[in-house]
Structure formats: structure tokens, C-alpha cells
């Protein structure tokens, strides 16, 4: 069985992190976003993953190193121009279709969930249609394109973009299982699978939707990344709690790489990920944040609801909060306050950032 992951976007919403690496390689819970998906696909028997790449292809090729570790074939389909969400399938036709006639998965690289892929295979086989999409329930469907479906069978009736009145509360979750025949519907040009391909399959009564169990989040922007980390760590607590840190200095769900060092008198959590090689000095307070590899946080600093990029340094008694995003190798001086600052890589912050702004 095969899968294609759509990784071609520029990742502008996650800048400044994506100025250093493509978005799928940005760590989430201490490993590249895309690795969560590849591992889930491997676990249910997928033997080859095709990555539809565009932006910084030379860096994406680094994922080949995971082939041996995960024992799964990773190949690449490189766009010369952005092809949207459907065009990449046409471009990768020869990589996805073989004599087996087996359906293949398609995933958006931004999506984090419990990946109930085995259940999706069973659902797809049972309904006998041409395509299956995963949908998730949301509280405010007016922000999204809503999938209107038969509750009993899952058959998709239509799509309604940002409805003014209530028509349903289920939205496309960015995980699909498609028969090879779907590729015959797609031209090799910039095309939207959501707006151009799926409505036609639904009109032929061959599109079905499965409601995703468990959590779901599109982590393509900072606020959702932080929210997604909370959901992921909560799921990890239920499924594999031994992977989470414990101790008198830990509050709630915290993930700490075994190579990180944490000083005395710290209070870490809830909802924190601390990456490889990090040094957290004494008296530090961390909550609802991601601290990426090689970061140094000096004594009595306080960080909340923020993302600290690779090899950055946060000074003594500094306070970093309110969706502050530090790019790679940023240095924050002692006793600095940053309130929602977005700081580009290699910058030095010598004065406080009192309101959300981009620091060039």
C-alpha cells in the first residue's frame, strides 16, 4: 500500500521557523511534523510514502535518512510550479498506481491526530465507493468549508464554504483514502482536490466521509501549533504515559528529550516539549510552549504560550509569552519582556517587545 503526503507549501504562517527549514521538518513534540504521519502510515502496513515537494527540495531530501530507521520506502515527486492539492496526485501518477489496484492514502502535512488509518481502510472497503475522506467536528463551522453528509452511511452530499446558516459541523480533516481511478479525474495543472475533484465524486454518489475519532488539529500556524501540542500530549498520556516526564518539578503533561538538562527549582508544565540538547537552568518556569533542540534558558526565565527556535538563548529573568515565536539562534538579553514578538533568525533582542510585532 502507498501514500502521498502534500508538503509543497511555503509555510508562511509558521515563519520565522520556516525560514530555516521547510514546514514538514519543523519539530512538533520533539520530532519533525511529517515523521508523525510517516510512522502512522508504516504502522498500518504502508510500504511506500511519496512526498510531493516544492519549497526547499534539497532540505526535504534529508528525510531519506529515515528510510532505514523506519523500514519504509520514501520517494519524492517534485513540482516545478505549485500544483495545489490535486495536481500533485497527477504528477505522481506513476509512483502511486501499480498493478495491485489498491487504494492509496493522501495526507496534508499540517494535520496532527491519532491517525485512525486502519479504521479508515475498513470503512473504505465497506462502502465500496471511489473515495473516502476523514472529517472532524468543530464548534464554529462558519469558519470552514462544511461537509454535508448522510449520518447513517457517511455518503457526502455536498460541500458548503463558510456557511452563513447552520448546515452541519463537520469539516475536511485533510486525510483521504482514494481509489486509483480518482487520478483519472485530475489534470496535470494547479488544481484543488477539495473544490474541484471531491464535489464531482460526490455528485456521482461515490464519496464517503468518516468522522475522525479522537483529537485533530491543523498545526500550520503558531496558535494552533500550541493548541495541538496540548491535544497531542493529552493523547500520549492516555496511550503511552511512560514517554512523559515525571518528578516534583513537572506539572501536567510534559515531554523532555533524554539529552536535555533541567536545573533545580524549575517548574515545567503543563503542555511543554523540551527538545534534544536543551539546557534549562535553575528556577525556570515553562508552560504551554515548545522548546526546540539546543536552546539554553537561563536562570529564572519564564516562558509561556510560545515557541523557542533551535539554539536560541533566553536570558536570566526574561519573560517570553503570548505567542512569541523565536527563530533559529535568537538571543534574548537578561530581564527582557517579549509580548507576542515574532523574531527572525539570528537576531539579538536587547529591549523589550511590549506588543505583538515582527522583529526584523
Q: Supply the DSSP string of 197-244, one letter for each residue.
A: IHHHHHHTT-EEEEEPPS-EEE-SSHHHHHHHHHHHHHHHHHHHGGGS
Per-residue pLDDT reduced to its tens digit, 8-22 = 666 677 889 888 887
User: For residues 175-191, b (16+ Cβ closer than 10 Å) or e, as one string?
Assistant: bbbbbbebbebbeeeeb
What's the pLDDT band for 251 if we cut at 50, 70, 90? very high
CATH number for the region 237-359 comes to 2.160.10.10
* DSSP codes joined into one string, 34-91: HHHHHHHHHHTT--EEEEEE-SSHHHHGGGGGHHHHHT-EEEEEE-SS--BTTHHHHH
CATH architecture observed for domain 2-218: Alpha-Beta Complex (3.90)
**pLDDT attached to residue 234:** 93
Domain boundaries, the chain: 2-218, 237-359
CB–CB of 172/194 below 8 Å? Answer: yes
Is it the case that residue 83 has pLDDT exceeding 70? Answer: yes
Weakest mean pLDDT among 81-85, 226-230, 235-239: 81-85
Share of the chain above pLDDT 70, in %: 97
Tell me the mean pLDDT in the region 93-110. 87
How much is the average pLDDT of 59-79?
Answer: 80
Tens-digit pLDDT profile for residues 294-334? 999 999 999 999 999 999 999 999 999 998 999 999 999 99
Sign of torsion over alpha carbons 175, 181, 182, 188: positive
**281 vs 298: CA distance, rounded Å:** 5
Mean residue pLDDT across the chain:
89
Average pLDDT over residues 33-40: 91
Higher pLDDT, 69 or 233: 233
In percent, how much of the chain has pLDDT > 90?
51
pLDDT at 122 (0 to 100): 94
Asked if residue 59 has pLDDT above 80, the reply is no
The three cell numbers of residue 128 are 465500496
Q: In this predicted structure, what is the pLDDT of residue 56?
A: 67
pLDDT at 55: 67
Highest mean pLDDT among 137-151, 166-180, 268-282: 268-282
Amino acid at each position: 500500500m502507498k501514500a502521498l503526503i502534500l508538503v509543497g507549501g511555503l509555510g508562511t504562517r509558521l515563519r520565522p521557523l520556516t525560514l530555516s527549514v521547510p514546514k514538514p521538518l519543523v519539530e512538533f513534540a520533539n520530532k519533525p511534523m511529517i515523521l508523525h504521519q510517516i510512522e502512522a502510515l508504516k504502522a498500518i502496513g504502508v510500504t511506500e510514502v511519496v512526498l510531493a515537494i516544492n519549497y526547499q527540495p534539497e532540505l526535504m531530501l534529508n528525510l531519506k535518512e529515515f528510510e532505514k530507521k523506519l523500514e519504509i520506502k520514501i520517494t519524492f515527486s517534485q513540482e516545478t510550479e505549485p500544483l495545489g492539492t490535486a495536481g500533485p496526485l497527477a504528477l505522481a501518477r506513476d509512483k502511486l498506481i501499480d498493478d495491485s489496484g489498491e487504494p492509496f492514502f493522501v495526507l496534508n502535512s499540517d494535520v496532527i491526530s491519532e491517525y485512525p488509518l486502519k479504521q479508515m481502510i475498513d470503512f473504505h472497503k465497506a462502502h465500496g465507493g471511489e473515495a473516502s475522506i476523514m472529517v472532524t467536528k468543530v464548534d464554529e463551522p462558519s469558519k470552514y468549508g462544511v461537509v454535508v453528509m448522510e449520518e447513517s452511511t457517511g455518503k457526502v452530499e455536498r460541500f458548503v464554504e463558510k456557511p452563513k446558516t447552520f448546515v452541519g459541523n463537520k469539516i475536511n480533516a485533510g486525510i483521504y483514502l482514494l481509489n486509483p481511478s480518482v487520478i483519472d479525474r485530475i489534470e496535470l495543472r494547479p488544481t484543488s482536490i477539495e473544490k474541484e475533484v471531491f464535489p464531482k465524486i460526490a455528485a456521482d454518489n461515490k464519496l464517503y466521509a468518516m468522522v475522525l475519532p479522537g483529537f485533530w488539529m491543523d498545526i500550520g500556524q503558531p496558535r494552533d501549533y500550541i493548541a495541538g501540542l496540548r491535544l497531542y500530549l493529552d493523547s500520549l498520556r492516555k496511550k503511552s504515559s511512560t514517554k512523559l516526564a515525571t518528578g516534583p518539578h513537572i506539572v501536567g503533561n510534559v515531554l523532555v528529550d533524554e539529552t536535555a538538562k533541567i536545573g533545580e527549582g524549575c517548574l515545567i508544565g503543563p503542555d511543554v516539549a523540551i527538545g534534544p540538547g536543551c539546557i534549562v537552568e535553575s528556577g525556570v518556569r515553562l508552560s504551554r510552549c515548545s522548546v526546540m533542540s539546543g536552546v539554553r534558558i537561563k536562570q529564572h526565565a519564564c516562558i509561556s504560550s510560545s515557541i523557542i527556535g533551535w539554539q536560541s538563548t533566553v536570558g536570566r529573568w526574561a519573560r517570553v509569552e503570548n505567542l512569541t515565536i523565536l527563530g533559529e539562534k535568537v538571543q534574548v538579553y537578561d530581564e527582557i519582556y517579549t509580548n507576542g514578538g515574532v523574531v527572525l533568525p539570528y537576531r539579538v533582542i536587547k529591549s523589550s517587545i511590549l506588543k505583538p510585532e515582527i522583529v526584523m
